[in-house]
Copies of this chain bind each other. A is one copy, B any other.
């Protein structure tokens, strides 16, 4: 099952019609044990946009890709996602280790030059045990998420990436299965589409839903998507009736 992202409002299309890569750098000390990361990874299979994933785990093992291959990937990515659980209000050690090893002076220079011609985007995808409402002056955690993630914003700007508003997954393990499925849809939309309006996103989701309705063989999302589709159609029909009444 694939979700077609070719018709998204803003795709990074090169002049020759090729779509530039998306790369997710996934840092988690115990990836196999993480319910949320496993769930997101499974969902990524449904995107046919060719998302590359660099996995960094607890032993700070490098990806199966060499540093040179990873640099090549980053240079050829229109969007880079740093995806990690919030550990001590920042990223796990493996992400810092990755930054230290990959981003040599030479590579930073190459990336800056490339970004002057083809600016790419950097985004953080954060999962956390705390609630968003618990952050900020006067809250239990006295600084905002924006402040806590500011080292990644400064990093992005230093290497010439534009910095995208982060995607935050809060308290995944306390979410109901339905909420988790909604989280996954929103995550996939975030990965697929950098800059769509609400209407565009709804249209896109509807197109996906129609397509999946015929081809879905995974039980994880089908029920949720079907229900969303029914609700959407009901809403659409209702809006149609209202419109007819007025005319």
Q: State the A residues within 8 Å of B (CB).
A: 29, 60, 87-94, 96-97, 99-100, 103, 141-143, 147-148, 150-151, 153-155, 157-158
Are A103 and B89 in contact (CB-based, < 8 A)? no
The smallest beta-carbon distance between A48 and chain B, in angstroms, is: 33
Contact of A92 among B96, B148, B154 (CB under 8 A): B96
Are A93 and B100 in contact (CB-based, < 8 A)? yes
Specify the main secondary structure of chain A where it touches its partner: helix
Contacts of A155 in B (CB 8 A): 88-89
Are A29 and B154 in contact (CB-based, < 8 A)? no
Taking CB as reference atom, which chain B residue is nearest A154? Answer: B89
Are B90 and A96 in contact (CB-based, < 8 A)? yes
Inter-chain CA distance A88–B60, complex, in Å, is 18
Are A103 and B90 in contact (CB-based, < 8 A)? no
Inter-chain CA distance A207–B87, complex, in Å, is 44
Contacts of A94 in B (CB 8 A): 93
Contacts of A100 in B (CB 8 A): 29, 87-88, 92-93
Contacts of A96 in B (CB 8 A): 87-88, 90-93, 96
Contact of A90 among B142, B151, B157 (CB under 8 A): B151
